[in-house]
Amino acid sequence: MKHLILLLSVFVLAFHNNRGDHAAAPAPGAENKPLNVILMIGDGMGMAQVTAGLYANGGRLNLEQFPITGLMKTHSAKNLITDSAAGATAFSCGCKTYNGAIGMTAAKKPCPTILEQAEALGLATGLVATSSLTHATPASFIGHATDRQFAEEIATYFLKTNIDLAIGGGMKYFNHRKTDTRDLYAELQTKGYTMSNFAEKTFEQAMLSLSPEQPFFWFASNEEPASVEEGRNYLPIAARMAPTFLSQRSDKGFFLMIEGSQIDWACHANKGDKAVQEMIDFDEAIGEVLKFAEKDGNTLVIVTADHETGGLALLRGEDKESLSLKFTTDYHTASLVPVFAYGPGAELFSGLIDNTDIYVKMRELLRFPAIEAK
């Protein structure tokens, strides 16, 4: 019964826009608009993934600190079931596009991303992921490609903006390229980046050479980073350092995207334990970001998902205290996903919204002008 009540309260939280006792303090700026925006994407993180993580973590998650919750539609231009590329492009550009599109409209025109806009207007920018940096979700913020498979093409976009911070895997797409002879790692170094990677330093060691004077890159792996189960631990640490670092890089504010990439992968593989570990790791990162936002008072934090993965159902377990995780598919589903918001402007993210609204609301809150795709 206790579990049922707890479970019901999860849904009550989601369906009513609850203003809890952690309500955000008003921002010092005009019109309650944030200086900084941190968008956190749990890839494949539906309600069931959140719920499973919550009970596996002793009934608590940092997500409970958010005063504003909402629900979001995730469909892409032509598919009720989106992929992560179209899902992330809805967040980064505000347009519904075809599955597989990276920062491209449905008409295959590059759409200006929120990260590119932020960079052009003098804000600091960052991407942190537990996938390769060229994988669909981070890729859709930095680059433009007609297909998510073009990882080497996507990597070149890291040299086209002046992104301040990038943390993730996929180093081979930068320095062991098959489509050309460029060494983007060396090029970034020449451009002034503090470059480091897993082969020479752990993330903690790499942070020792961190200086706000220089933009920073750290590669977690050549290909895709390890899972939590395999020992990956950099996401919460990166979530702790990134906001402070970016706030030192520009007084105009920053835009940061942090992705818990592997909740999705665990659910594709129908591995419930793994999905829960990835969910809890992502929630730890959320806790670190909230600590910054609470102290700063000028930062909007949005946590959401591009889609649900696995059609996860939480069934009665072996005893009253346990759940049995059952997947109904190895692909994504069309379920609405949760949205959590904290900080100046958070109230705009309540209700039942569309994935493209995330972009529109972020852009308006950051006072960026609307731009058309070229």
Q: Binding residues for Zn ion, per CB under 5 A?
A: 264
Q: 325, exposed or middle or buried, with CB in 10 Å at 0-12, 13-18, 19+?
A: buried
For position 82 contacting Mg ion by CB under 5 A, the verdict is no
Residue 164 contact partner, candidates Mg ion, Zn ion, none, CB within 5 to 8 A by sort of partner:
none
Tell how far CA 157 is from the center of its chain. 18
Binding segment (CB under 5 A) for Mg ion, from list 48-56, 78-86, 318-326, 346-354: 78-86
For position 51 contacting Mg ion by CB under 5 A, the verdict is no
> What is the contact mask toward Mg ion in residues 26 to 45, using x (rule: CB under 5 A)?
-----------------x--
For position 84 contacting Mg ion by CB under 5 A, the verdict is yes
Bridge partners of 44, per DSSP, are 308
For position 137 contacting Mg ion by CB under 5 A, the verdict is yes
Distance CA 101, CA 134 (A): 13
Q: Which of 323, 256, 309, 302 is nearest to 278 (CA)?
A: 309
Residue 137 contact partner, candidates Mg ion, Zn ion, none, CB within 5 to 8 A by sort of partner:
Mg ion
Distance CA 157, CA 153 (A): 7
Among 105, 197, 261, 298, binds Mg ion (CB under 5 A): 261
Nearer to Zn ion, 224 or 347 (CB): 224
Nearer to Zn ion, 264 or 284 (CB): 264
Q: Is 84 a catalytic residue?
A: yes
Provide the minimum distance between the beta carbon of 308 and Zn ion in the complex, in angstroms, as a whole number.
10
Helices first, then strands: H and E counts in the chain: 13, 14
For position 308 contacting Mg ion by CB under 5 A, the verdict is no
For position 89 contacting Mg ion by CB under 5 A, the verdict is no
Provide the minimum distance between the beta carbon of 303 and Mg ion in the complex, in angstroms, as a whole number.
14
Q: Which of 76, 84, 250, 350 does the annotation list as catalytic?
A: 84
CB 265 within 8 A of CB 132: no
Q: Which residue is nearest to Mg ion (CB)?
A: 137
Q: 314, exposed or middle or buried, with CB in 10 Å at 0-12, 13-18, 19+?
A: middle
Nearer to Mg ion, 281 or 344 (CB): 281
Q: Which of 46, 222, 231 is nearest to 151 (CA)?
A: 222
- Going from the C-alpha of 330 to that of each of 43, 267, 269, 308, 311, the distances in angstroms are 14, 7, 6, 11, 8
Distance CA 278, CA 183 (A): 32
For position 278 contacting Mg ion by CB under 5 A, the verdict is no
Provide the minimum distance between the beta carbon of 315 and Mg ion in the complex, in angstroms, as a whole number.
27
Q: Which residue is nearest to Zn ion (CB)?
A: 264
* Count of residues in contact with Mg ion, rule CB under 5 A: 4
Provide the minimum distance between the beta carbon of 145 and Mg ion in the complex, in angstroms, as a whole number.
15
Provide the minimum distance between the beta carbon of 337 and Mg ion in the complex, in angstroms, as a whole number.
13
Distance CA 10, CA 8 (A): 5
Which residues are known to be catalytic?
84
Q: Which residues bind Mg ion (CB under 5 A)?
A: 43, 84, 137, 261
